[in-house]
C-alpha cells in the first residue's frame, strides 16, 4: 500500500471511535489543529473540540496537539485550554518530531496514532513514523493558498485510488473500501 494511504478514515474528529483506538492499544494521539479540530479562521476552539480532547484524556489516551503552525497561533486558537501537550512548527511530513515525541514518552509507533486532514502532511508524516494514521474530512473548504495547492495534488491521488477501487469519495469524505 502507498505511504500516503491512511489506516482509517473518519467524517470528523467527533465520529472517531476512541474505544476502538484504546482497544488497539493506542496510548498517544497526535492531533492536527487547522481544519481537523478547528478552522484556521476560527479565533477559538469549539466546545465540541474541547470535549473531544477531554474525552481522549478520559479514555486513557494522551492527546498531543501536533501542528505545522506557529505556537502563538495554536495557543490563540486553544485559548489556554484544554491543558494538553503542544508541539508546534513540527515540519510535517518529516517524521522527526513524531519520533522525538514518541521517544520522550517511551512509546512505540504501534502505540501512537495521528489524526489529520491532509495526506501530504499528517498522513505521510504519520506513516513515515510508522504510526496508525487517521484521515478526517476537512472541516471547511476555506484554506490558505498553499493548502489549496496540496488539495489539488490530493485530488489526483484520490482519483487514482478511486479508479483502483481502494476508496470512495462522498462530499469531501474519503472512505476506505
Per-residue pLDDT tens digits for 69-90 = 888 888 888 876 667 888 899 9
Residue 120 corresponds to which cell in the numbers above?
501530504
Q: Cell 505521510 belongs to which residue?
A: 124
Please name the residues in contact with 170: beta carbons below 8 A apart, sequence gap of 6 or more: none
- Bridge partners of 113, per DSSP, are 29, 132
- Can you tell me the distance from the alpha carbon of 30 to that of 140, in angstroms, rounded to the nearest whole number? 20
* pLDDT-above-70 percentage for the chain: 93
105 within 8 A of 62, measured Cβ to Cβ: yes
Closest among 82, 76, 116, 117 to 98, alpha carbons compared: 116
- CB count within 10 Å of CB 163 equals 9
Task: Show the CA angle centred on residue 77, arms to residues 100 and 148, nearest 5°.
Answer: 80
In CATH terms, the fold of domain 8-140 is Rossmann fold (3.40.50)
Question: Mean pLDDT lowest for which of 39-53, 57-71, 128-142?
Answer: 39-53
Q: How confident is the model at residue 22 (pLDDT cuts 50, 70, 90)?
A: very high
Domain ranges within the chain, ordered by starting residue: 8-140
Residue 159 has pLDDT above 70, yes or no: yes
pLDDT for res 2: 87
Determine the pLDDT at residue 11: 94
Could you tell me if 23 and 152 are in contact, meaning their C-beta atoms sit under 8 angstroms apart?
no
Total Cβ atoms within 10 A of residue 119? 25
pLDDT exceeds cutoff 90 at 27:
yes
* Highest-scoring range by mean pLDDT, 12-26, 45-59, 158-172: 12-26
Amino acid at each position: 500500500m502507498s505511504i500516503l494511504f491512511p489506516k482509517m478514515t473518519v467524517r470528523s474528529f467527533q465520529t472517531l471511535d476512541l474505544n476502538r483506538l484504546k482497544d488497539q492499544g493506542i496510548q498517544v494521539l497526535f492531533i492536527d489543529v487547522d481544519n481537523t479540530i478547528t478552522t484556521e479562521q476560527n479565533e477559538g476552539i469549539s466546545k465540541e473540540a474541547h470535549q473531544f480532547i477531554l474525552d481522549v484524556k478520559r479514555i486513557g489516551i494522551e492527546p498531543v496537539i501536533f501542528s505545522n503552525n506557529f505556537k502563538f497561533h495554536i495557543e490563540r486558537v486553544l485559548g489556554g485550554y484544554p491543558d494538553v501537550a503542544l508541539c508546534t512548527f513540527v515540519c510535517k511530513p518529516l517524521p522527526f518530531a513524531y519520533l522525538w515525541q514518541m521517544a520522550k514518552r517511551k512509546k512505540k509507533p504501534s502505540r501512537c496514532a495521528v489524526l489529520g486532514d491532509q495526506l501530504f502532511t499528517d498522513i505521510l508524516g504519520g506513516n513515515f513514523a510508522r504510526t496508525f494514521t487517521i484521515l478526517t474530512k476537512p472541516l471547511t473548504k476555506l484554506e490558505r493558498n498553499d493548502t489549496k495547492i496540496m488539495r489539488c495534488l490530493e485530488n489526483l491521488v484520490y482519483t487514482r485510488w478511486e479508479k483502483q477501487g481502494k476508496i470512495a469519495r462522498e462530499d469531501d469524505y474519503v472512505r476506505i473500501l
